[in-house]
């Protein structure tokens, strides 16, 4: 098996930006998209980082994604808004939506933006630090109306998209960053295992005959398996409830469900909510309480002595620091796809470290 390659962050970002601009994005859109994509890799979400560049290039080249423009404001009040992205890249729209929700929160204590019809947003973790760096709490939910991948609990056919949920919380140190799928695993993880001819480490799928499976090939078979909701075969009613919540908060509030967006490919609906702790109490006391909670988790007696309890976001912060210093790590299979993507645009790949 080929080893990973490394590319300096600066050179990789410039190359990704050039690819997106050549594909049809204007300079601002290309710059923000490149930042959002690589942020996923920096934080360790490699299935939702530059691995998705060829898809974004294809969407821009074919005109399915717009390379310029602004979302349309459908409705707005003091602390909420509903945007129609009109097929703008989610990688571009999401930072704008987070910034708008932050401004509302700083003025009103809370801010909520729902967005419809934006191209795939990739890693939700990429957008959390924007808020936590300002001392704000953020949570994000995203769904895909045209996609059915996850079975409801007790079923074996697909209904839900593999909806991610993300939470960002400021602390006195590294912010708490959580980015998780509401299914046992994300569809991107299944695709990655399939591409590498590997089995999944968990029973994440339910086959057409109702049996659990960790074989990603069943997901692409006919009839296909479905992703299990978080909790799996035994406790999946919990993930099922969360999937319902996610699609109501995203699709229903945005008036953009399967009836309206069922033919829109990987377009997303999103719910972005930002809270200002200072509006509820003393922000310094918020930090004290949060720090205490995290420390109690960190010092909890571990099941395995050599494996202490991990805090969401700490490993991501370490990866980000090391990759900014030593280069962004990209698996060989993804690198080969990136090189071919650049060749189609007549752009030479960045030099490896």
pLDDT in tens, 202-236: 999 999 999 999 999 999 999 999 999 999 999 99
Domains and CATH numbers, the chain: 5-184+228-285+313-344 (3.30.1370.60), 185-227 (3.30.60.50)
What is the structure's pLDDT at 230?
A: 96
What is the structure's pLDDT at 162?
A: 87
Closest CA to 276 of 143, 106, 119, 115: 106
Angstrom distance (rounded) from CA 50 to CA 7: 12
Q: Which stretches of the chain score pLDDT less than 70? A: 1-2
What is the structure's pLDDT at 131?
A: 98
Q: Please write the tens of the pLDDT for every residue from 74-93.
A: 999 999 999 999 999 999 99
What is the structure's pLDDT at 204?
A: 97
What is the structure's pLDDT at 3?
A: 85
Is residue 99 exposed (0-12), middle (13-18) or buried (19+ Cβ within 10 Å)? middle
What is the structure's pLDDT at 1?
A: 53
Is residue 267 exposed (0-12), middle (13-18) or buried (19+ Cβ within 10 Å)? buried
Angstrom distance (rounded) from CA 94 to CA 85: 10
Angstrom distance (rounded) from CA 33 to CA 134: 22
Q: Is the peptide bond before 127 cis (omega within 30 degrees of 0)?
A: no
Strand order in the sheet with 226-227: 212-213, 205-206, 226-227
For residue 279 the two structure tokens come to 């509006």
């Amino acid at each position: 098996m080929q080893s990973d390659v490394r590319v300096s962050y600066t050179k990789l970002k410039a190359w990704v930006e050039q690819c997106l601009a050549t594909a049809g994005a204007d300079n601002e859109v290309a710059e923000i998209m490149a930042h959002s994509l690589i942020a996923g890799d920096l934080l360790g979400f490699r299935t939702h980082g530059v691995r998705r560049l060829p898809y974004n290039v294809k969407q821009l080249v074919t005109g399915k994604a717009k390379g310029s423009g602004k979302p349309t404001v459908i409705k707005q009040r003091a602390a909420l808004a509903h945007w129609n992205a009109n097929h703008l890249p989610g990688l571009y729209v999401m930072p704008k939506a987070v910034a708008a929700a932050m401004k509302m929160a700083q003025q009103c204590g809370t801010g909520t933006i729902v967005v419809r019809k934006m191209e795939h947003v990739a890693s939700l973790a990429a957008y959390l630090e924007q808020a936590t760096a300002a001392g704000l709490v953020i949570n994000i939910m995203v769904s895909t109306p045209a996609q059915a991948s996850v079975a409801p609990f007790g079923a074996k056919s697909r209904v839900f998209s593999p909806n991610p949920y993300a939470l960002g919380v400021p602390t006195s140190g590294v912010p708490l960053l959580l980015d998780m799928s509401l299914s046992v695993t994300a569809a991107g993880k299944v695709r990655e295992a399939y591409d590498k001819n590997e089995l999944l480490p968990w029973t994440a799928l339910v086959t057409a005959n109702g049996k659990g499976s960790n074989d990603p090939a069943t997901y692409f078979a006919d009839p296909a398996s479905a992703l299990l909701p978080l909790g799996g075969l035994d406790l999946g009613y919990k993930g099922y409830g969360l999937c319902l919540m996610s699609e109501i908060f995203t699709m229903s509030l945005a008036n953009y469900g399967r009836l309206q967006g069922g033919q829109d490919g990987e377009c997303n609906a999103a719910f972005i909510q930002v809270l200002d702790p200072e509006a509820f109490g003393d922000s310094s006391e918020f930090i004290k309480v949060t720090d205490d909670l995290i420390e109690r988790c960190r010092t909890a007696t571990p099941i395995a002595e050599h494996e202490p309890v991990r805090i969401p976001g700490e490993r991501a912060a370490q990866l980000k620091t090391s990759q900014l210093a030593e280069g962004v790590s990209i698996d060989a299979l993804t690198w080969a796809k990136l090189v071919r993507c650049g060749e189609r645009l007549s752009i030479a790949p960045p030099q490896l470290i």
